[in-house]
Structure 1
Amino acid sequence: MKKLLVSICIIGLVVACKKNDSKPSIQTTDSTAQVKKDSLGITQTIPNKEEALKKTNDEVLQALKNKDYQAFAALIHPQKGIRFSMYAFVDKKEDKHFSKADFEKFQPTKTLFTWGAHDGSGDPYKATINDYILKWVFSKDFTKGQYSLNTFIGGGNSLNNLKEMYPGDNFTENFLKGTEKYGEMDWKTIRLVFEEFEGKYYVIAVVNDQWTI
């Protein structure tokens, strides 16, 4: 009788182990990326937030470098659109804002927009979308810049209120160090602000920064 009970217990344990082994596995790595198996047993890797933001940051910069404004437009937030700030100080009333549809509509045209005012002179900066991007937003190759996530690298005497204007949003910075010739004061940087929508990150703001008077 005792032998019969022991045999039953052993069989029960084996069955339980097999049931547990049949469940889809989910593993979390130190980087918080997830590896899981779907219902067909196919392994899928879910990128973590840091990886997703870095990837989108690089896609934005590469689109601007290639002058591929269709690819850039595809990364604009579908509902919130995109805002361009000439300097570190973000002014939601004065800085130029486009819906995704308006950006796509006006980008190929020669329509002039006022993007802000030049530091020092205070003269308004008027340009087409293409000229503004070429001569201001991507005036240097920021794909070669020093990357950071939610941390500022560059900083001058211009007030930086990005975190106050976009509380809770993630931002990236791509910083290009200045040259010795100008005492490194000719540094430039571009900051991209992102917001998640339907499981994907989109850019909602492009903030340029440089040394100001």
Structure 2
Amino acid sequence: TVVTEVDVTAAPEAVSTEPAPRPTDPPPPTIAPADITPEPVDPTPTSEPGATPAGPTVEIVDIYRVAFVDENDVLNVRAGAGVDFDVVGELQPDATGISITGQGEVVEGSVWVPIATGRISGWVNSLFLTRDMKNDAVCDAAAVQQLMAELELALSEKDNNALANLIHPERGIHVHYNWWSDEVWLRHEEVDSLFTDNTDYTWGVQDGSGLEQIGTFSEIMLPMLQKDLLGASEYACNELLNGGTAGLVVLPAGFEQYNFRSFYRPFPEGGVEMDWGSWAVGFEEWDGNWYITYLVHYQWEI
């Protein structure tokens, strides 16, 4: 077991829980807080790709919450950094008020941090934490508007470097063909060449036919992003926008802890009502920068 120290800013305060591990537990970098002063709000819902949007900034908090843990799972709190240590507590998927109390340690490629919450203290994998700053006004923040404008530009120009800059290389991005399908979790070198990479992934299955959607990012996901995200005309913050459907329209379990922006393309005037599509784009602040954390697609279902 390799153990090295990583600076992780301690956070004040604390509440009450290691889920089934995802493919690899990548380490996030140093967690650093920042206080930012608000500016006037720009009421424009979105910006032209490449434009620098105006809007308020947002205060970064030092309290964390559990994230990306399934509703039937828990986040184990251990006596030390790594899975070799005993479990001393459990955090529920919706646990909040978690404080990081000291420096983190890298154990076999994962950053573990000491935490305290209520009567529980110990170590958790920081991959399953995010700042507790769910706020419906955050989408109007200048930094978030800029993030979304840069995402639109990267997709429009199919720019590998531009897209990679919006995705944390270790924490990665979670992609869902539809909300109920198994996710594809992309990180490290996978995010550096998404538009040109020839790797085939199983992205999900078509509703109704049950056909597996197997192919590259550019073959399967990019056309839907270009049609429904770049073609969106309605937007919302922390609210899923959708057209008529017989299926549920919800976030995957463990995703609701993140702020997200909805991009909705309604069916065209005079067109078929089933011809609509939308995306939920999750985002977070980490180590002083804002990143896209997930992409979830929605469309008409049987």
Q: TM-score, normalised by structure 1?
A: 0.70
Q: Give the number of the structure whose residues are more often helix, by fraction.
A: 1
How far apart, CA to CA, are the structure 1 residues paired with 2:300 and 2:194?
30
- CA separation of 1:152/1:193 partners in 2, compared to 1, >3 Å: closer, same or farther? same
1:62 aligns with 2:118: no
Q: Secondary structure at the match of 2:301?
A: coil
C-alpha displacement at 1:140, in angstroms? Answer: 4.1
Cα pair 1:82 1:100 within 8 Å, conserved: no
1:128 aligns with 2:216: yes
C-alpha displacement at 1:86, in angstroms? Answer: 1.0
Q: Secondary structure at the match of 1:139?
A: helix
Alignment of 1:71-82 (within 5 A): 71-82=162-173
Counterpart position of 1:114: 202
Counterpart position of 1:87: 178
Amino acid at match of 1:148: A
How far apart, CA to CA, are the structure 2 residues paired with 1:194 and 1:185?
28
Q: Specify every segment of 5 or more residues in structure 1 that has no aligned partner in the other structure, as ranges.
A: 1-25, 32-44
Counterpart position of 1:22: none
Q: Secondary structure at the match of 2:227?
A: coil
Counterpart position of 1:186: 275
How far apart, CA to CA, are the structure 1 residues paired with 2:215 and 2:172?
19
C-alpha displacement at 1:107, in angstroms? Answer: 4.7
Cα pair 1:65 1:141 within 8 Å, conserved: no
Alignment of 1:26-175 (within 5 A): 47-48=57-58, 49=138, 50-51=140-141, 52-89=143-180, 91=181, 94-104=182-192, 107-140=195-228, 142=230, 144-155=232-243, 156-162=245-251, 164-175=253-264
- % identity of equivalent residues: 27
Alignment of 1:198-209 (within 5 A): 198-209=287-298
C-alpha displacement at 1:209, in angstroms? Answer: 0.7
Q: Max radius of gyration: which structure?
A: 1
C-alpha displacement at 1:180, in angstroms? Answer: 3.8
Q: What RMSD over aligned residues (CA atoms) do the two structures have, in Å? A: 2.6
How far apart, CA to CA, are the structure 2 residues paired with 1:97 and 1:76?
11
Deviations 1:116-135 (A, max 9, x none): 11111101001112222332
Amino acid at match of 1:200: N
C-alpha displacement at 1:137, in angstroms? Answer: 2.8
- CA separation of 1:176/1:47 partners in 2, compared to 1, >3 Å: closer, same or farther? same
Cα pair 2:229 2:264 within 8 Å, conserved: no
Q: TM-score, normalised by structure 2?
A: 0.51
Q: Specify every segment of 5 or more residues in structure 2 that has no aligned partner in the other structure, as ranges.
A: 1-35, 42-54, 59-137
Deviations 1:32-73 (A, max 9, x none): xxxxxxxxxxxxx97234322222122112211111122111
Cα pair 1:77 1:195 within 8 Å, conserved: no
Amino acid at match of 1:157: A
Deviations 1:68-88 (A, max 9, x none): 122111101233101111123
Counterpart position of 2:300: 211
Amino acid at match of 1:65: S
C-alpha displacement at 1:206, in angstroms? Answer: 0.6
Residue-pair matches, total: 172
How far apart, CA to CA, are the structure 2 residues paired with 1:145 and 1:192?
15
- CA separation of 1:173/1:140 partners in 2, compared to 1, >3 Å: closer, same or farther? closer
